[in-house]
Amino acid sequence: MTVKLQQDVKEFRNSFLVLLQSYQGDYQSCLSDITAAVQRTQLSIEALQACQSEAARLQQHLEELESRYHLEQQRRRALHNSLVELKGNIRVHCRIRPFWSFGHKLDGSASQNCTTPGEVVHAVDDETVLVRCALPGRPPTDKTYNFERVYGPAASQAVVFEDIRPLLISLLDGYNVCIMAYGQTGSGKSYTMLGPHSEDDAAALLSGVHEDLGIIPRAAEELFRLISENPSRSPKVDVSIVEIYNNNIFDLLAKDNSTVMLGAKCQMATMQEGRSEVPRLTCRPVTSAEEFVGLIHKGVRLRVQHPTLVHKNSSRSHLIVTATLTTASPLGNTATQSSQASLQKIAGASNWWITPPPASSPHTIPADSADHPGQVLARLQLVDLAGSECSAVSGVTGLALKETSFINRSLAALADVLGALSEHCDHIPYRNSKLTHLLQDSIGGNAKLLMILCVSPGQKHMAETLRGLTFGAQARQVERRAPRRRPPSPRMQKPGMGLAGSQALP
């Protein structure tokens, strides 16, 4: 019995030992698996860390490349601007207004730089516009247009004005400057130049919140800010406002009560030297941005506006605001031939803000009279053109149809003038329309001319949009004389009388 028990215990021990050995084998292989897995994990962590540091290196490299690219872009743009200036090209900026479905404004972000069905015009980058042309029965095609600057629908009034600011510095440097908004009806010209409309009062478009203000009130503010930076040579500023309605010129600042509805009708006259002028045009001196904007209020209230199917507050006339700057020349009316030579030198200097000579100098002249000889004169023209439109689309009839046809004819005359200029024709047909006749010196003369091409992004406006973009692209091709500073002329005309009257340096 005892022997049997001992035998059982021995067998149990043996089988236990076999079992234990097999578990030990499993344990060993498990352990080596775990060790291998840990090693693999460590390798992965190291690889991950290596990847992470490589990604950080690439990110840094990318940031460096991006900043170099932006720098290069800025340099390229500066070179392009110098080239444009040297060749006397017209600068064209294009602004795409927000998209409104069913002709109504979308609220908030819906219209901001994202694609909505029916929205066919896009800003690809800040120099390229893309139009997705989808005609029924044809595969969609993309057309691109390049301009000096392109603003998408989200661009604020402040961003648009930032690119205008240098032109005001040029104005105070003695250059004539013209900024003109062109585009289809309802494409945002008045919004860009003046600000948003008020339902009841057209002039209230200037009294909105500051961030909504357009180029004209901002330019008035900037002009007087720049003037205040150098009070010793404060120029005198005179403002005139005219509209061209049905190919007639109306003085919107005329006092005459009988003309209160439209302003006084004016004629153009050609002076002996061939300059075109509007005689007896009202010209008001202003001493602050508020006074300047006050006059614009007065003028805009008289401007002709009618609703069309496209646009409720459609401007039916071209509005031209002219600010004329008169200041004391650094040399006075006793200037001799040699002083005239230094005058030319000063006119060619990089900064117009020239410290006046000491009071004892024989060249010193009083700075406060517009008629005083030896004055430097520069002119700023701000133009809100009436909208180009297809009468079939805008739904106009009767008198409105007549207005539309005058608007379209004057814009066609503008296109003809630009076409003749770009082909360097001997005859430029400025006199085919009051608009081109009045703006002759700004378009073909020595002014720095910026055209702001406003476009609607919707499919239904595509034909007009393509026409406008083609017009803008052609305008960019026009090479005029390089803009010149006005020389301080010994006998300067009275400011404001000659809207188009400026003389180039010889």
Stretch touching ligand ATP by CB under 6 A, among 69-77, 79-87, 187-195, 411-419: 187-195
Distance of CA 357 to the CA centre of its chain: 38
Among 88, 152, 174, 188, binds ligand ATP (CB under 6 A): 188
Q: What is the full DSSP assignment across 16-71?
A: HHHHHHHHHHHHHHHHHHHHHHHHHHHHHHHHHHHHHHHHHHHHHHHHHHHHHHHH
Question: How far, in Å, are 48, 49, 52, 70, 130 from residue 57 at the CA level?
Answer: 14, 12, 9, 20, 35
Residues 6+ away with beta carbon under 8 Å from 119: 99, 457, 458, 459
Residue at shortest CB range from ligand ATP: 387
- Residue 171 found at the interface with ligand ATP (CB under 6 A): no
Site for ligand ATP in 28-67 (CB under 6 A): none
Stretch touching ligand ATP by CB under 6 A, among 191-199, 219-227, 271-279, 468-476: 191-199
User: At 302, is the secondary structure helix, strand, or coil?
Assistant: helix
Residue 25, annotated as binding a ligand? no
Stretch touching ligand ATP by CB under 6 A, among 65-73, 313-321, 368-376, 475-483: 313-321
Partnered with residue 377 across adjacent β-strands are: 326
Stretch touching ligand ATP by CB under 6 A, among 27-35, 72-80, 221-229, 309-317: 309-317
Among 88, 152, 183, 444, binds ligand ATP (CB under 6 A): 183
Question: How far, in Å, are 223, 285, 324, 396, 479 from residue 501 at the CA level?
Answer: 21, 18, 11, 36, 21
Q: Where are the beta strands (DSSP E) in 222-374?
A: 236-245, 248-251, 264-266, 269-270, 276-277, 284-286, 305-306, 314-315, 318-328
Residue appearing with tokens 């002996």? 272
Closer residue to ligand ATP, CB minimum distance, 288 or 305: 305
- Residue 196 found at the interface with ligand ATP (CB under 6 A): yes
Among 176, 187, 324, 327, binds ligand ATP (CB under 6 A): 187
Q: Report the relative pairing of strands 128-133 and 375-384 from DSSP bridges.
A: unpaired
- Residue 419 found at the interface with ligand ATP (CB under 6 A): no
Closer residue to ligand ATP, CB minimum distance, 236 or 311: 311
- Residue 186 found at the interface with ligand ATP (CB under 6 A): yes
Residue 35, annotated as binding a ligand? no
- Residue 218 found at the interface with ligand ATP (CB under 6 A): no
Among 84, 289, 450, 454, binds ligand ATP (CB under 6 A): 454
Closer residue to ligand ATP, CB minimum distance, 135 or 392: 392
| CA nearest to 406, candidates 389, 419, 430 | 389
DSSP 8-state class, residue 503: -
What's the min distance (Å) between Cβ of 186 and ligand ATP?
5
Among 152, 263, 332, 387, binds ligand ATP (CB under 6 A): 387
Closer residue to ligand ATP, CB minimum distance, 198 or 489: 198
What's the min distance (Å) between Cβ of 317 and ligand ATP?
9
Among 89, 170, 176, 185, binds ligand ATP (CB under 6 A): 185
Residue 189, annotated as binding a ligand? yes
Site for ligand ATP in 79-98 (CB under 6 A): 97-98
What's the min distance (Å) between Cβ of 413 and ligand ATP?
17
Closer residue to ligand ATP, CB minimum distance, 169 or 204: 204
Q: What is the full DSSP assignment across 183-251?
A: EBTTSSHHHHHT----SS-GGGGGSS-GGG--HHHHHHHHHHHHHHH-GGGPPEEEEEEEEEETTEEEE
Residue 186, annotated as binding a ligand? yes
Distance of CA 126 to the CA centre of its chain: 11
Partnered with residue 145 across adjacent β-strands are: 129
Closer residue to ligand ATP, CB minimum distance, 211 or 426: 211
Helices 462-477 and 398-422 pack at an angle, to 10 degrees, of 30
Residue 188, annotated as binding a ligand? yes
The binding site for ATP consists of 183-190
Residues in contact with ligand ATP by CB under 6 A are 97-98, 183, 185-191, 196-197, 311, 313-315, 386-387, 454
The binding site consists of 183-190
